[in-house]
Amino acid sequence: MPEGHTIHRLALDHRARFEGGPVRASSPQGKFADGAALVDGQVMTTAEAHGKHLFLGFGPPRTSDDPPVSPPFDRGDPHRSRGYPHRWIHVHLGLFGKLGFGPAPAPPPTDTVRLRLANPAAYADLRGPTTCALITEDEKRAIHDRLGPDPLRPGDDGTRAWQRISRSRTTIAALLLDQKIIAGVGNVYRAEVLFRHHIDPYRPGRDLTRTEWDAIWSDLVFLMAEGVRDNRIDTVRPEHLPEAMGRPPRVDDHGGEVYVYRRAHQDCHLCGSEIRTAGLAARNLFWCPGCQPSTGGG
DNA sequence: TCCTTATGTACAA
DNA sequence: TGTACCTAAGGAC
């Protein structure tokens, strides 16, 4: 169930359990056997996310022969300043991938576990990723270079995205899923943020105003940070929650409250119109024709 | 037990 | 635009 918030949360969860100590790595499924063998016994130096991409950093353990490391060179990561090739495991969950954590002792893995990481206290099992590969620092940089700004990355802002959106004839719904333009937004946040800002998903990017885009960006910063904190997507404002409006809560396998995502043919919580759905670029789009009217001309 | 579906992406034609 | 890829859950039989 991965949009950007999931991946940033996974980076935090890896750091909490593994950062700074040696980790055992294995690939019970076998498809990542070579990569797992290369990082087995190394120290996880950090874990970070950009959009839906997860990067787990590894370096050799320090020994008593190693010189002490002093700031500012360690940057919290002595292994990267000692001339060793620092390695990364690049993970992309795709549509089906999952990462599950548990306390030690780890149970016997099933044969779908692509990568198991373990230390004396915890384990993590990766299943079904679209990508799990060992990469270099240069290869990692290339991935960052082809991704747009991420609402969850400190220091990123929406300006770079706006430069492309404001010149594009492509619909805003398609642009929001284009990871080169903005990284981390998936099908749920796309549908929900357009609803929250009353924007017709079919409007061309260049018909948005700067003010509208800035509001969308800052709303994504807010919503996705909440998503990291709660580990789920909730997009309904307090005054529109089931308790506030006296309607039954959503019964669904995703948990969070939403306005339009996967609510096709149901009534809009706010205006009562029937929520619509349509295929757009091989994904299901959801919107409310009442709250997100086409602005004419298009 | 089979079929469908899913919060994703890449590549071919 | 279509299709391939990866997994698991839920529903229909």
Separation of CA A281 and C1' C3 in angstroms?
Answer: 13
* pLDDT tops 70 at residue A77: no
pLDDT in tens, A36-47: 999 999 999 999
Confidence of residue A55 (pLDDT cuts 50, 70, 90): very high
pLDDT in tens, A170-202: 999 999 999 999 999 999 999 999 999 999 999
The percent of residues in chain A predicted with pLDDT above 90, rounded, is 82
| pLDDT surpassing 80 at residue A60 | yes
pLDDT bin (cut points 50, 70, 90) of residue A71 is very low
Domains in chain A (CATH in brackets) are 4-145 (3.20.190.10), 159-287 (1.10.8.50)
DSSP A116: E
pLDDT-based confidence at residue A72 (cuts at 50, 70, 90): very low
Q: Is A52 one of the catalytic residues?
A: yes
Quick one: DSSP state of residue A92? Answer: E
pLDDT tens, residue by residue, A8-36: 999 999 999 999 999 999 999 999 999 99
On the 0-12 / 13-18 / 19+ scale of CB atoms within 10 A, A85 is exposed
pLDDT at A127: 97
**A179: Cβ–Cβ under 8 A, 6 or more apart, which residues?**
A51, A52, A147, A148
User: Model confidence at A251, in pLDDT bands (50, 70, 90)?
Assistant: low
Measured from the Cβ of residue A212, the count of other Cβ atoms closer than 10 Å reads 15
Distance A217 CA to B1 C1' (A): 46
Q: Which of strand B's nucleotides are less than 7 A from any protein C-beta?
A: 6-10
CA distance A224 to A151: 7
